[in-house]
Structure 1
Amino acid sequence: MATTSPRLWRQTPYLLWLASDTGKGLAATLFSFAVPLLALVITGDPAKAGIIAAVGTVARLLATLAGGVLADRHRRIVMMTLGAALSALAAGAFTALALAGGIDFLTLLLFEIVLAGVGGLFSPAGEAALKDIVPEQMIGRAQAANQGRDAALQLAGGPIGGMLLAAGGWLIGAAMMIGSAVSAVTAWILGRRVGWRRPDASQERADAASALPANALRELREGVSWLFRRPDLSTGTVVATVINLGLNAGTTTMIYAVLQSGYSEAVIGWMMAGSGAAMLIGALLAPTLVPRIGAGMLMILGLLCCTAAVATGVFVESPWGVALLISGAVFLLPALNAAFSGYTMVATPTALIGRVNSVGGVLSMGAMPLSPLIAGFGLAWAGRTPTLIFSFALCAIALIMSVASRPLRSIPAEAGWAEHAKQFDSVPASTPAPTR
């Protein structure tokens, strides 16, 4: 019988980790909300706002790959603390410049690069640290709780950011600084409580001559090679990338079409609030579902909901009908994400978890910017129905891949993850990287 959920909340190291990660997440949510709006207000040019977003995405993608290598080399809680402290300093500088009236296109672009780079370099260490501090049998419920936290941040981030931005752009910076400071302090307390060194430090090779420029690519290749030799994890990673692309392209197409039909931005906002509420409810249910339903089955059910919603979108054009479809599509996503990410964390050796997580994150993030391009060009060149059919085809491919892959569809519920992963452990892990 699975361990009951309440025991997770008696794990003080996890609570400290969650507080640190939540502070960091709030700061990131506020900045991602505020930057495009500030860019539009300051420059009056949507293209410049797009440039800032695109440059920030590229910076984060590149930094995340390097961050995965760093997370497997260095003491992860130290990196959590350092990354949060650097974010707090950057947010403080942003606040000071905003108060002085010094925010323009170039400074926004600079802060976007800095904060995206810091997030990419240090976030993989925070994610990997969860494996070091949470008992293996609770990883799934920890990931499910994280999904609930993320959904709450996404739902609350817009209203909070809007109120702060209306009162003054500097308040966004101040709130970011407070969130990052909370993240740094709680990460430091976590390090004091559990120790600064990783649990497997005694097994790591002591190659003092190792340096990031000389070995980063080789170490990254080791992580990628290990991941894609695992049929359970590699198929799940590809499926996640394809469904992200198909679902986001489909929902963006439906939303753009509603806007083109003459409905106001306020209607779009309420539509998104409805889907956010559905995801939050799904996230609250995830800790109950993950220990009881196989991760493979959760993935198939979640993909089926996404595929059905995009397919039905061909016939539904009213804003509230579209909102209902999007809500149905995203309802099981928190449980799906928690189950697969939790299984990945259990199945992956500690010495590789930073690189494996970063590769998955980059593939997921890399698909996201393509979705509005598919929706925008599809609507302009082909129209709503063909674009949705193309998006449906992507979702269907992901669903078929998940059903056809026995290693993926047979992943059990949380209690059986470690045993299931053992059958693929004949794949040799790379030599652990040194800790510094």
Structure 2
Amino acid sequence: MNIVKNNPAFARLQAANVLNELGLAISYVIIPLTILTVYNSPFLAGLISALCLAARTLSAIFSGAIADRINPSLLLKASFGAEFLLWGALALLLYFQVANVYIIALLSIIVAAISTIDGPAEFVVLKRIMPTAELGAATSITEARSSTAQLVGNPIGGALYSLGGAAALGIQAAIHCVAALCVPQVRDACTPGAEDTTRAPRFFTEVKYGFRLVFGDTALRHLMYVSSIANLGVVPMSFVLLTVFQQKNTDSWIIGILLSCFGVGVILGAPLAARLSSTVRLSTLLIIALSMFVLTTLGLIVGSAHPWSAGILVIISGLALPALNSAITSYTVAVTEEKDVGKVFSASGVFGMILAPLGIFVAGVLLAHVGALWVFLSQALVMALALALTRIFHGVGLKRCVKSKESAS
């Protein structure tokens, strides 16, 4: 934690992002619950969730190049501020009872698209304020921060929903406003003035260049293949559990706690993240994480009968994730030049999440027509396929991110 005490800009960055992620975590509970409560339709809830995720995935194609060209502090403030205004507007529309499913979907999709700038902009800030030797520790803290925000945000979202959708969204909007005020100011790019004249006409070229950088690195390319298939099964899990227990008339605060259980697992696994990410091959971490996902998803066929047994299984599934994400993130930052960090993270994020919207949509259709059993079976099958691909790529991986950085430089 010394890097937080000794680096005020890093501390402010963490504060701003944890508040923003807390607000988004609240929305992930409030919006589906609103749709399920008002319209009693897993299909509509799944469709809107899928459209939001698709909007995030598509807009991420350009967000990295934007983050590399514009001051990242300004981008974060603009993004958090827009989320404040849009969620606040939806809160007012719900309060005056003029919001319908189309308005809810439209505003949720716009927020989802805007929020994709947050990640690339944050990593550009990290690259500018953190020494290379501290990037691994910084990304581990970032991973724990995101999990903590999810952990706290989900039950808060469930509890706030008991006050009504309008009140819940109004409080959430205020959180985004405070987040915008906390964003630190950082220096401009390494070559001030050169960006406008030499790089401005080549925006789409830079977007494509980010994808070329990702697929030009063997480890990153194979990781994208595996993660895109894995996320087809992993990402819909929260939506599936929320829908299953909402249909059982489970209290919203209990649903919120259940959705936070994955974050509990991530936090419990975080103490090992720094050590494992620097000593164990990425492929080995992938195998461990995906194996746990497959087993716990199969366990949910029986465990979903009660929220507490489901929560235990979800906690177990999250244990291996922080080491995996920390290793991938620190490796990606280490081998990427500062001017390309945003583009590379956007490109890898797009391919990692490209199939996830389909997963949520299919889950909504299956829940509406055949029930949770077939959803859990299909998710386990998809993750088993990702695990099989990981075994094929077992020879691809890195033992130490630091060594990768040294060889790259």
TM-score bucket of the superposed structures, by smaller chain: 0.7 to 0.9
Match of 1:137 in 2: 133
Q: Deviations over 1:348-372 (max 9, x none)?
A: 1111111111112222332323335
Match of 1:428 in 2: none
Q: Which runs of 5+ in 1 are unaligned?
A: 426-436
CA distance in 1, matches of 2:282, 2:199: 45
> What amino acid maps onto 2:354 in structure 1?
G
Question: How big is the alpha-carbon RMSD for the aligned residues of Structure 1 and Structure 2?
Answer: 3.5
For the residue of structure 1 that corresponds to 2:394, the secondary structure is helix
**Cα gap change, 1:49/1:328 in structure 2, threshold over 3 Å: closer, same or farther?**
closer
Match of 1:240 in 2: 227
> What amino acid maps onto 2:167 in structure 1?
L
Match of 1:11 in 2: 7
Match of 2:350 in 1: 362
Question: Does the Cα contact within 8 Å between 1:97 and 1:103 map onto a contact in 2?
Answer: yes
**Cα gap change, 1:309/1:207 in structure 2, threshold over 3 Å: closer, same or farther?**
closer
Q: If the length of structure 1 is used for normalisation, what is the TM-score?
A: 0.78
Determine which of 77, 81, 86 is the counterpart of 2:77: 81
Determine which of 219, 222, 225 is the counterpart of 2:212: 225
**Cα gap change, 1:22/1:384 in structure 2, threshold over 3 Å: closer, same or farther?**
closer
Question: Does the Cα contact within 8 Å between 2:84 and 2:173 map onto a contact in 1?
Answer: yes
> What amino acid maps onto 1:132 in structure 2?
R
**Cα gap change, 1:324/1:309 in structure 2, threshold over 3 Å: closer, same or farther?**
farther
Determine which of 410, 415, 423 is the counterpart of 2:407: 423
Per-residue deviation, 1:222: 0.8
State whether structure 2 residue 46 is matched by structure 1 residue 50: yes
Q: Deviations over 1:402-434 (max 9, x none)?
A: 5221xx2x331xxxx344234356xxxxxxxxx
Q: Which runs of 5+ in 2 are unaligned?
A: none
Question: Does the Cα contact within 8 Å between 1:305 and 1:328 map onto a contact in 2?
Answer: no
State whether structure 2 residue 337 is matched by structure 1 residue 349: yes
Q: If the length of structure 2 is used for normalisation, what is the TM-score?
A: 0.83
Match of 1:125 in 2: 121
Per-residue deviation, 1:164: 1.4
Question: Does the Cα contact within 8 Å between 2:293 and 2:380 map onto a contact in 1?
Answer: no
> What amino acid maps onto 1:340 in structure 2?
I
CA distance in 1, matches of 2:146, 2:103: 28
CA distance in 2, matches of 1:44, 1:32: 17
CA distance in 2, matches of 1:101, 1:373: 27
Per-residue deviation, 1:13: 0.9
Question: Does the Cα contact within 8 Å between 2:17 and 2:179 map onto a contact in 1?
Answer: yes
Q: Deviations over 1:270-295 (max 9, x none)?
A: 76554442222113x15xx3156526
Q: Deviations over 1:332-384 (max 9, x none)?
A: 10121012111211211111111111112222332323335666769959968
> What amino acid maps onto 1:369 in structure 2?
P
For the residue of structure 1 that corresponds to 2:9, the secondary structure is helix
Deviates more, 1:164-173 or 1:49-58: 49-58
**Cα gap change, 1:201/1:384 in structure 2, threshold over 3 Å: closer, same or farther?**
closer
> What amino acid maps onto 2:191 in structure 1?
A
Question: Does the Cα contact within 8 Å between 1:128 and 1:354 map onto a contact in 2?
Answer: yes
Superposed, 1:275-294 pairs within 5 Å as 275-283=262-270, 285-286=271-272, 289-291=273-275, 293-294=277-278
**Cα gap change, 1:253/1:173 in structure 2, threshold over 3 Å: closer, same or farther?**
closer
Match of 2:165 in 1: 169
Determine which of 54, 59, 64 is the counterpart of 2:55: 59
For the residue of structure 2 that corresponds to 1:318, the secondary structure is helix
Greater Rg by CA: 1
Match of 1:90 in 2: 86
CA distance in 2, matches of 1:383, 1:276: 25
Question: Does the Cα contact within 8 Å between 1:140 and 1:291 map onto a contact in 2?
Answer: no
Match of 1:114 in 2: 110
**Cα gap change, 1:98/1:201 in structure 2, threshold over 3 Å: closer, same or farther?**
farther
Question: Does the Cα contact within 8 Å between 2:30 and 2:157 map onto a contact in 1?
Answer: yes
Q: Deviations over 1:212-257 (max 9, x none)?
A: xxx44322111111121112322233333333335557x689969x
Aligned residues: 399
Superposed, 1:311-390 pairs within 5 Å as 317-319=301-303, 324-372=312-360, 387=378, 390=381
Question: Does the Cα contact within 8 Å between 1:254 and 1:322 map onto a contact in 2?
Answer: no
For the residue of structure 1 that corresponds to 2:63, the secondary structure is helix
Match of 1:25 in 2: 21
**Cα gap change, 1:203/1:167 in structure 2, threshold over 3 Å: closer, same or farther?**
same
Question: Does the Cα contact within 8 Å between 1:68 and 1:358 map onto a contact in 2?
Answer: yes
**Cα gap change, 1:169/1:247 in structure 2, threshold over 3 Å: closer, same or farther?**
closer
